Each structure stands twice: as C-alpha cells, then as structure tokens.
Amino acid sequence: MADPVIVVITGAAGQIAYSLLYNVAKGDVFGKNQKVVLRLLDIGPMMGVLKGVEMEINDCAFPLVSDVVATDDPGTAFSGADVAMLVGAMPRREGMERKDLLKANAKIFKSQGECIDKVAKKSIKVVVVGNPANTNALICAQSAPSIPRENFSALTRLDQNRAQAQVAAKLGIACDAVKDIVIWGNHSSTQFPDLSYAKVLDGEDWVEASSKIQDDDWIHNEFVKTVQTRGAAVIAARKLSSAMSAAKAIGDHVKDWWNGTGPRIVSMGVMSDGKSYGIEEGLMYSFPVKIEGKGVYKIVEGLNINDWQRKMMDVTAEELSNEKKDAFQFLLSE
C-alpha cells in the first residue's frame, strides 16, 4: 500500500467536518486502498469538542485511518500535509456586514497560507470552503508564494451538485444521467449556473439537456435562481447551513482533483489566467475544468458564449473583483 495521504481538515469541530471526516476516513475520497492520516485543526476554545470528534473517529475503527491528530496549532496540522480542506472560518453572525466577514476571514486565510507555505509539502492541494470561499482561497494562495497557484481552489462543487439535482428532478431522471453543468464565478448569489453545455442520458446516448427540458424560461430564470439561493433555502428550513451536502461536495471535488475526471466537465474555483473567457487575471473564479493527469486541472477552453451568458459571467466577476479589492485593503491596513 502507498504511504498514507496526510489530510488536514480545518473547522474540524464544526458541522461540515462531522460529515466530511466520515467520508474521508472510510475511503470515499482517496479510495478504499489508500490509508490516511487525519489532522484536525480548530481554534483553542473548541479543543474539548474536537477531543470528542477524535474519540468518535477512533471508535469507528476505520481500517484506512493510520493516525488522528487534533490540534489548535496550524504548524502541527499543516506539517508535511498532502491535502488541506479549509473548512473553518469565522461564521457570519446576525448584524454582521459582508465586509466584516471578509475582514475577519482575510486574516485567518492569510495566516494559514503563510503556514502552509512554510511547513506543507510543495505539492499540497488546497480546497477552500469557508466563506467567502473564492476570496479566502485567493488570499491563501497569495500568502503561500512557494506553492504553485494551481494547487489552490475554492469549492463550487456544491453548487454544481445542486444544479445537477435540479435538472434530474425536472426531467424525472437519476442524478448520474446529467453531466457537464457549469458554475461560473463566485460561490455566492451572483454565481451563474449554466446549462448551455449540459447533457442528459437518453437511452444509451448523451443529448443536449436543453432539448429535453424544452423550457428556456426555466433554464434562464427559475433554475438559476433556485441554485443561487439554495444555501439560504436550506438555512431557512434546517436553521443551520448545508453540512451533509457540503461535505459530499468537498469529497467529490478532491476525489476528482486527485484521480482525474476523464472527459467529464466539473466546476472549480481556480485562479483566472486573464486568457480564459475574458475574466480578469488573478481572481479565484469558478470555471469549467477537466482533470486529466492526477492533480492537474485544465480550464476547458473554446466554449461558445452568448450575450446572456456574457452578462451573467461578468456580474459575478465584478463581485469577485470588488471582494478582492476590499480584502487586500483590509490586509494592507493591518
């Protein structure tokens, strides 16, 4: 068996991590033949709770878990790490402005990026989940200059999965009979869930999703709105934000990044290169990607973009550009 993969999960005492740890520990992400070392990072006041999580992982007697380390020291957590799932973040409290959230989290992701730069493997793969995920990922990447930009990403897979489930429900088909949905932009209510290239299974053949849906109004309005506001709808119903579905999406994202996607298109928040789809350089923007070699994504180029798509893609890019300006202003004023 290969060496264990060292996986850091931050926010490890929180609700997403509670599902995520189970998925990672039982082999859903790195495979049933791959051992893992779990490094659980949270803040000092959560160490009691985290101890309980560690006890439960031990009590599961997972055959694939070689070691569990629960800590509030980022240096211990990230040392020699292969993969980091950065879930922990300051939550948005009642009365808190988006800018306050951005400010609190900019500091966290700067210091985690600096720590990753110092002690993690240079090949580490980082997925940022804590909100605002895209801008936090950007700050983290910029704070770790010795690690390639391509090793940082932001999670938009939950939005992709939500979109896939909406199409499956609309057509009364299984979720795995829907593919190639694209999420453009920010993981926020400006994101653009796009069915322009989506395919659905018709018998043995993959056909254009729109030819089966036959409802452009739904594709342009209700579908987009439902996916954009799904997180808020879950909070309204559950009184807590998405956790099981977020954990599943993190697992899907890392599994595909680790193993490859083949010809499937998936969406990841990745660093824009200034050449793809007219998006300014240096934003952590969600693009359609394929992962051909292990761990190396490529933005899918050459998709046709109509005027409506252009407008939707630019709105979310503008939001990311403003978030970036605000976040870096906060960091400079520290």
Catalytic site positions: 187
Name the residue whose CB lies closest to ligand NAX.
14
Question: By CB under 6 A, is residue 313 in contact with ligand NAX?
Answer: no
Q: Which residues are paired to 287 by β-bridges?
A: 268
Question: By CB under 6 A, is residue 155 in contact with ligand NAX?
Answer: yes
Helix (H) or strand (E) segment spanning residue 249: helix 244-259
* 266 Ramachandran zone, left/alpha/beta (phi>0; psi -120 to 50): beta
Residues 319, 135: Cα–Cα separation, whole Å: 10
Question: By CB under 6 A, is residue 267 in contact with ligand NAX?
Answer: no
Q: How far is the CB of 128 from ligand NAX (least distance, A)?
A: 8
Nearer to ligand NAX (CB atom), residue 114 or residue 202: 114
Question: By CB under 6 A, is residue 190 in contact with ligand NAX?
Answer: no
Q: Apex CA 74: angle with CA 324 and CA 44, to 5°?
A: 100
Helix (H) or strand (E) segment spanning residue 266: strand 266-271
Residues 59, 57: Cα–Cα separation, whole Å: 5
Stretch that binds ligand NAX, among 125-133, 205-213, 278-286, 296-304 (CB under 6 A): 125-133
Nearer to ligand NAX (CB atom), residue 60 or residue 232: 232
Question: By CB under 6 A, is residue 289 in contact with ligand NAX?
Answer: no
Q: How far is the CB of 253 from ligand NAX (least distance, A)?
A: 9
User: Tokens 């007697």 appear where?
Assistant: 61
Stretch that binds ligand NAX, among 53-61, 85-93, 209-217, 285-293 (CB under 6 A): 85-93
For residue 162, give the 3-state DSSP assignment.
Answer: helix
Question: By CB under 6 A, is residue 76 in contact with ligand NAX?
Answer: no
Question: By CB under 6 A, is residue 16 in contact with ligand NAX?
Answer: yes
For residue 211, give the 3-state DSSP assignment.
Answer: helix
Stretch that binds ligand NAX, among 60-68, 189-197, 235-243, 253-261 (CB under 6 A): 235-243
Question: By CB under 6 A, is residue 10 in contact with ligand NAX?
Answer: yes
Give me the amino acid identity at 228: Q
Instruction: List all residues 6 or more positions away from 194 whose beta carbon is below 8 Å from its beta carbon.
Output: 181, 182, 183, 184, 309, 312
| Sign of the alpha-carbon dihedral angle for 301, 140, 160, 223 | negative
Instruction: List all residues 6 or more positions away from 76 whose beta carbon is below 8 Å from its beta carbon.
Output: 39, 69
Nearest to 21 by CA among 58, 57, 66, 64: 57
**Residues between 170 and 189 that touch ligand NAX (CB under 6 A):** 187
Question: By CB under 6 A, is residue 115 in contact with ligand NAX?
Answer: no
Q: Which x/- pattern over 30-49 shows residues binding ligand NAX (rule: CB under 6 A)?
A: -----------xxx--x---
Question: By CB under 6 A, is residue 241 in contact with ligand NAX?
Answer: yes
CB 41 within 8 A of CB 10: yes
Question: By CB under 6 A, is residue 251 in contact with ligand NAX?
Answer: no
Question: By CB under 6 A, is residue 11 in contact with ligand NAX?
Answer: yes
Nearer to ligand NAX (CB atom), residue 47 or residue 213: 47
Q: How far is the CB of 249 from ligand NAX (least distance, A)?
A: 6
Longest dimension (CA), the chain: 59
Positions in the binding site for ligand NAX (CB under 6 A): 10-11, 13-17, 41-43, 46, 87-91, 108, 129-131, 133, 155, 158, 187, 231, 241-243, 246
